[in-house]
Every structure is written in C-alpha cells, then in structure tokens.
Amino acid sequence: MDVNNTLSGFNSMAATFAADVDHAFWLNFWISIVLGMTVIIPMFYFAWKYRESNVKNEDISNNSHNTPLEIAWTLIPTALMMVLFYYGYTSMKTLRTMPAASESITIKVEGSKWKWKYEYPANKAGHVHKITSVYDKKIGGVKRGLYVPKGQKVILEMTSPINDVIHAYFVPAFRMKEDVIPGRTTKQWFEADKVGEYDVECAEYCGTAHSYMYSKIVVMERADYDKWFESSAKSPFEDASAPALSKGQSLYEDNGCAGCHSIDTDAILVGPSLKGIGAKHDAAYLKDAILTPDKVVPEGFYPGVMPPFALPEADVAELVKYMQSAK
C-alpha cells in the first residue's frame, strides 16, 4: 500500500458496477466540457471582436431575437442534461439497490478512530469472525482486512460509535463510497469479480490519524474463502502453527490500541508509547486510562483524541494485565 497515493486503486476495476460508474463519470465529464466550451469560447471571442477599439458607436445596433438560435441553445443543453440525468440515475440505482439478503453475505462494519472492524455471520461451528483492521506503521501496511469470495454479493451494514465522528468507507477500485455515521446504520453492497487486494480509505476527515485510517478488501477464490470461513483463524494468511496470542494482547489488537500506541518501542504513533508503562503506573491508573482517557492526559498530548472504551470488566482486567507486562 502506498500511503502517499490517495488515488490508489483507480487504475483497476474490481467490482461489477465499477464500469457503469466509470461510464457515467466520463460521460458527465465530456458533456460538461462541451457545455462549458460553448459558453467560454464565445465569451472570449465576442469580448475580442467587440472590444472598444474595434467598434464604432454608429455600428452598434440591437437585435430583438433569433428564433432558431434560441431554440437550439434551449433544446441542445436540455437534451444533454437529460443524458446526464439518465446515466447518473441508472448508475446510482445500481449502487443503491440492495441485493436480497438470501443471496448475499451480510457483514457488519464499524468505523471508529482510527480503525475498521468487521463482524461476519456465524459459521457452521457457530464461530463468529470479528476482525479489527488497522494500519500498522511498523510493517508499513494494513494488518488483516475484509475477506470475501469472488463472485459473491456482499452487503455492508456500517455504523460508528455514538461518541465517535463521521467516517467514509471508500474503495477506489470498486468506485464505492459510503458515509459511516455515529449512531446510524448505512448500507452499501458490492460484488467483486477479480481476485486481489484492494485498498480501503477513510474519505471523511476524522482527526489526528485520518491519513492512516486504511483497511483492505481481500477477494479470494470461493474454495479458499470457505476454508477460512469455516475455521476460527482471524486471517486466511496467518501461520496456524504460530503461538496463540494472550487474551490481553488479542484485545489490544482487536480494539485498535496498536494503531495509536506502540507497546514494544518508544515510537510515538498517535498517542504516547506504552513501553514500560507497567513499571510506571499501577493497575488503577491503567484502568482509568482505558475507561476515562481524558481523566489524566499525559504531558504533550491533548484530551478528546482517545475515545473511552466500553469494555466488560473481565476484558479491561486482561488489557491491564497485558499493559503491566510491558516493562
């Protein structure tokens, strides 16, 4: 992923409706150019032809009207505008008409500062995949993403926590963007027709780490997707033989803490580094930092950046335990 290229993805089309959106865009673009030139070119021509030094007072006269010209400049732009309306409406209708839930995978998406969370339906074993996708500066890319099968309709039900801000789920390669609003559920759908990885960007300014609020959609062959979906692995690409994460570390990653705080280095990402924090503060302080982050703000940082986390008491205890181990 090239985090310096905010247009990454426009060089490919990977959703079934992407070509329709492109067609509507370029039609709109060229018709707008033509309509603009029919105004701008005559304007400059007449400004030059009838400049003060080139026209005598006795040559000035008034024309009452020109019926053929008036009909032409009314009907031609109207016809072109109707063409724009038709293609704009049909492409919007395609994007906004949700497919039947029975033929789709419905995935819940939560956008919050500054991460994306995905929750899938339960698989045959009853396991529910819950994935947190966050940009990891250490690896220079996104850790985990949204995994979908090729040729499958997918419905995204998107929201943001009530105490968060507006985000926008933007996939350039799909020509798809939808606002994600606190306390509301918005929907978008797609059907990916090409296997690959496609960038997801937040297209609504959302604060300090907005420029790093990336995710990715990984389109897989159906068999590969089904194999992962029926497992309990968080990602189809993680090493199954790797040691399991502790409960606290898993919560640390799943809640997006790693996107803002480094715990194994002194690097400052968005918030202060947590390296050695267990030796500096007791469990009560760490618990307050999770539940009421504005109660005590470290010097050099600002209140209101870190949202409070409404976590079960047991999860908070595990997080505190993990943070205390960072000595």
Q: Which CATH class is domain 101-229?
A: mainly beta
For 247-324, CATH number?
A: 1.10.760.10
pLDDT block averages, 10 residues each, the chain of length 327: 55 82 89 89 89 76 81 88 87 87 92 90 91 78 88 93 90 91 93 90 87 89 92 77 66 72 72 74 76 74 72 76 73
What's the whole-model pTM score?
0.74
Predicted pLDDT at 46: 87
**Residue of 232, 215, 322 whose CA lies nearest to 277:** 322
Q: Is 47 exposed, middle or buried (0-12, 13-18, 19+ CB in 10 A)?
A: exposed
Q: Topology of 18-96 in CATH?
A: Helix Hairpins (1.10.287)
Tell me the residue type at 60.
Answer: I
Residue 67 to residue 197: CA distance in whole angstroms: 58
pLDDT number for residue 110: 92
List the strands of the sheet with 167-171, edge to edge: 146-149, 214-220, 196-202, 167-171, 176-180
Q: What is the pLDDT of residue 325?
A: 75
Sorted by where each begins, the domain ranges of the chain are 18-96, 101-229, 247-324
Which are the contacts of 98, defined by CB distance < 8 A and separation ≥ 6? 155, 187, 189
Q: Can you tell me the distance from the alpha carbon of 87 to that of 285, in angstroms, rounded to the nearest whole number? A: 58
